[in-house]
Structure 1
Amino acid sequence: MLDAQMVMTMRMMGMAGLWSVTPAEQSRMVSEKTEAFTDAAAASARAMARGGSPADIAAAALKPVRRKARSNAKRLAKRGPNTRAKH
Structure 2
Amino acid sequence: MAPTFPLADMMKLSWQMGMMVVEAQTVMTLRTLGMMGVLTPHPQENQRMVAEKGVAFAQSAQAAAMAAMQGKHPHEVAAAALQPIRRRTRVNAARLTRAAKKPRG
**1:23-66 deviation per Cα after TM superposition (whole angstroms, max 9, x unaligned):** 21111011000110010011001100110111111111011000
Are 1:65 and 2:85 an aligned pair? yes
What's the TM-score, normalizing by structure 1?
0.90
What aligned pairs does 1:3-82 form with structure 2 within 5 A after superposition?
Answer: 3-80=23-100
Note the C-alpha offset of 1:19. 1.6
What's the TM-score, normalizing by structure 2?
0.75
Aligned length: 84
Unpaired segments ≥5 residues, structure 1: none
SS of 1:29's partner is: helix
**RMSD (CA atoms):** 1.3
Larger RCO: Structure 1 or Structure 2 (Cα < 8 Å, ≥ 6 residues apart)?
1
SS of 2:60's partner is: helix
Percent of counterpart pairs with the same letter?
44
Q: Which structure: larger Rg?
A: 2
Partners of 1:19 and 1:52 in 2: CA distance: 44
Structure number having the greater helix percentage: 2
**1:58-86 deviation per Cα after TM superposition (whole angstroms, max 9, x unaligned):** 111011000000000000011116745xx
Structure 1 runs of 4+ with >2 Å offset: 81-84
